[in-house]
Copies of this chain bind each other. A is one copy, B any other.
């Protein structure tokens, strides 16, 4: 089954807005076993939309359109769909009632422009919009399903929940089950080396894909067949095998995040965490506090960007900095002890490094970064040689630091203990 995604809007064609809708939709369709043949962005010009609709609907089973709905672009998508399918606009009292309620709830007046949003082509099934005023449409025309949705991502995503169900009911889709296995702190090349035998023994209907992203590699297992329960079992069996081979690198599944999983470990232990950051400048704390509810285990962080702060607040000895440098295993160890003392937290993360572009030396080039994790009893610090780019170094350091802390809590750390 083939699908095509059309995005309508001048703001995308002039490079003002990045189209993220198409990727999201194609990801959703792909996991249902639908083949996305083409993604197209065009302007809100009627003739061009008509030509594109005509071509795409003849080549695909389903055409999904986002954008071009609402007052700012004169509802061009709706009018063009009405013309393309030869179906007149019709007033829908139930949509109008919904609009009235929408505006009442927000203490705003419904104006004439909004009234026009209650008109849809006769042949369209309305898809309710719980986040905005433009209804979605499902139109079956000449053996093709045409779906129209607003371009606002939150409105579109909400509607897609309904539309995916309608697609599953209408079409005879292959059964697909997949699972993402999330790993950190191990390179794709090393992983694929360790998983060579695993890949060779995979049953033919199960596929493995590597999706690397800055210190993390997502492994996607996909199984295609007829029966979802048996496919799920197949996937679970392969995941168990993966766990026995690369278990300690796996931090979670599907939508898990490193910071979220670390938070759960701390919640389980009822322990608290604090961080002392130099080169990451608050990014580790930002990752931790991105998780709702992190205030119940995260005490806080000291961002010691100057040496003065390292000595005066974290009580790093001046002698240590002079002798070993601000970026050294010795300084990071003292930063870690300092933050535990200062905040009273049970566990701590400390980092110091040269993020770049300047500050490097022959002995310690840009990308030299020391990362420490531990408790009052035990501290691990390791020096890493990372990248040349400032922002990539900040993000990669954060990933390694969070993953090291996670491994420390799971007693899996193989770093050199200090």
CB within 8 Å of B: which residues of A?
12-20, 22-30, 36-43, 48, 209, 211, 275, 277, 280-286, 288-290, 292-295, 298-306, 308-309, 312-313, 342-344, 356-359, 390-391, 394
Contacts and interface: CB of A to CB of B under 8 A. Distances in A.
A292 B23 contact: no
A303 B305 contact: no
Given A285-B281, A292-B356, A305-B295, A15 B37 contact: no
Nearest to A298: B305
A286 B288 CA distance: 13
Number of copies: 2
A-B pairs, top 3 by smallest CB distance, nearest first, are: A281-B289, A15-B27, A282-B282
Given A15-B30, A23-B15, A303-B301, A286 B283 contact: yes
Given A290-B281, A294-B305, A358-B293, A18 B23 contact: yes
Contacts of A344: 308, 312
Given A15-B24, A39-B13, A285-B282, A302 B305 contact: no
Nearest to A295: B305
Contacts of A25: 15
Given A281-B290, A292-B358, A300-B305, A28 B15 contact: yes
Contacts of A16: 27, 209, 211
A27 to B, nearest CB: 3
A281 B284 CA distance: 9
A390 B277 CA distance: 23
B282 A289 contact: yes
A31 to B, nearest CB: 8
A65 B257 CA distance: 35
